[in-house]
């Protein structure tokens, strides 16, 4: 059992280089492991014909961070070791490993002890960002993902609240995401984050995003920021002047040209929730089941939107990391 920090990430952190953490549960459980097929409609440009969808996502996100001038730090559990800074080859091997699951705060100790391999969720990736400090004296301050977990719909009857919320409340990292996944109770998730003292910023938009769905004026209103420099300034005040320990959630709307029209997904989400609720399965299977249902219902348009926002968020996170390094 060990925590392993790659040499290039350690060197970058010690010299003030811009680093962006990337979670891997999106590769092991969030995106399909298959090649783009006819059932998904038109294939997006970033998915090569001979490349599995999740592998294409890994390559595109790495490129997005690097093109912004930052260094990607992919994080995962590999044979029981918490690896921070996987090589691109290792990331793609993980994406191709269909036996790899996902690991969160409640399961990471057992998965490590059993020497298993798994992708890290938002919560576990945040934990890794903070653990880095014990190895090189610096934590990873910027993290990009698609959408955070939160409070599930019908939580009063099927109590299901993501560990991501507690992790955001206790880890001083700037998380760049397209809000909370649209399969969740978004309003309750926002309210919970506010109660936990997590600043929520809207990057050039004053509405909390609904993951892959288009914006609505009924979405919760949040504090708008117009530049990455403004994000960095708010982070500095939050952590250094106010000595707050929580993260800062910087939200980005999904690219307008691929966002799913609001209301399109409600029926399939409700139907899938009913099926899932009748199975008695544990909560970890809930989100993958819902995302798979959305992919088939939209003929792949939900995957296209997910890929686009993942890359956009990775790019903006890279810009924030560069700006953060320039002010330190």
Catalytic residue positions, numbered: 23, 181
Instruction: With beta carbons less than 8 A apart as the criterion, state whether 67 and 83 touch.
Output: no
Distance separating alpha carbons of residues 252 and 228, to the nearest angstrom: 12
The sign of the CA dihedral 202, 205, 210, 213 is negative
- The token duo for 221 is 């209103």
Instruction: State the number of CA atoms in the 13 A half-sphere of 91 facing the CB.
Output: 25
Distance separating alpha carbons of residues 194 and 186, to the nearest angstrom: 12
Q: Find residue 221's DSSP bridge partners.
A: 207
Q: Please state, in angstroms and as integers, the Cα–Cα distance from residue 99 to each residue in 2, 108, 117, 239, following that order.
A: 21, 16, 8, 39
Helix (H) or strand (E) holding 176: strand 174-177
Centroid of chain to Cα 114: 25
Burial class, 241, CB count within 10 angstroms (exposed 0-12 / middle 13-18 / buried 19+): exposed
Burial class, 223, CB count within 10 angstroms (exposed 0-12 / middle 13-18 / buried 19+): exposed
Q: Tell me whether strands 174-177 and 101-103 are parallel, antiparallel or unpaired.
A: unpaired
Instruction: With beta carbons less than 8 A apart as the criterion, state whether 68 and 17 touch.
Output: no
Instruction: With beta carbons less than 8 A apart as the criterion, state whether 153 and 194 touch.
Output: no
Instruction: With beta carbons less than 8 A apart as the criterion, state whether 249 and 175 touch.
Output: yes
- The token duo for 80 is 């029981």
């Amino acid at each position: 059992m060990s925590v392993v920090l790659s040499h290039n990430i350690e060197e970058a952190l010690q010299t003030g280089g811009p680093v962006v953490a990337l979670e891997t549960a999106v590769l092991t459980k969030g995106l399909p492991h298959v090649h783009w097929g006819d059932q998904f409609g038109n294939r997006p440009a970033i998915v090569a014909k001979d490349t599995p969808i999740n592998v294409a996502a890994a390559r595109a996100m790495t490129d997005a961070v690097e093109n912004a001038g930052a260094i990607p730090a992919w994080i995962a559990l590999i044979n029981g070791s918490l690896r921070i800074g996987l090589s691109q080859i290792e990331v793609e091997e993980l994406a191709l490993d269909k036996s790899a699951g996902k690991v969160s705060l409640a399961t990471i100790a057992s998965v490590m002890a059993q020497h298993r391999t798994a992708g890290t969720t938002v919560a576990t990736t945040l934990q890794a960002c903070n653990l880095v400090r014990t190895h090189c004296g610096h934590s990873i301050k910027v993290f990009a993902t698609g959408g955070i977990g939160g409070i599930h719909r019908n939580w009063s009857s099927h109590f299901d609240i993501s560990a991501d919320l507690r992790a955001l409340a206790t880890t001083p990292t700037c998380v760049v995401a397209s809000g909370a996944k649209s399969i969740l109770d978004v309003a309750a998730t926002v309210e919970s984050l506010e109660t936990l003292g997590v600043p929520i910023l809207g990057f050039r938009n004053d509405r909390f995003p609904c993951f892959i769905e288009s914006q609505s004026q009924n979405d919760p209103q949040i504090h708008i920021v117009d530049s990455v420099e403004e994000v960095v300034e708010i982070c500095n005040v939050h952590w250094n002047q106010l000595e707050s320990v929580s993260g800062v959630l910087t939200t980005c709307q999904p690219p307008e040209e691929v966002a799913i029209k609001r209301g399109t997904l409600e029926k399939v989400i409700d139907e899938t929730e009913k099926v899932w609720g009748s199975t008695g399965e544990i909560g970890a299977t809930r989100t993958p089941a819902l995302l798979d249902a959305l992919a088939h219902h939209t003929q792949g348009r939900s995957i296209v939107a997910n890929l686009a926002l993942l890359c956009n968020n990775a790019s903006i996170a890279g810009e924030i990391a560069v700006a953060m390094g320039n002010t330190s």
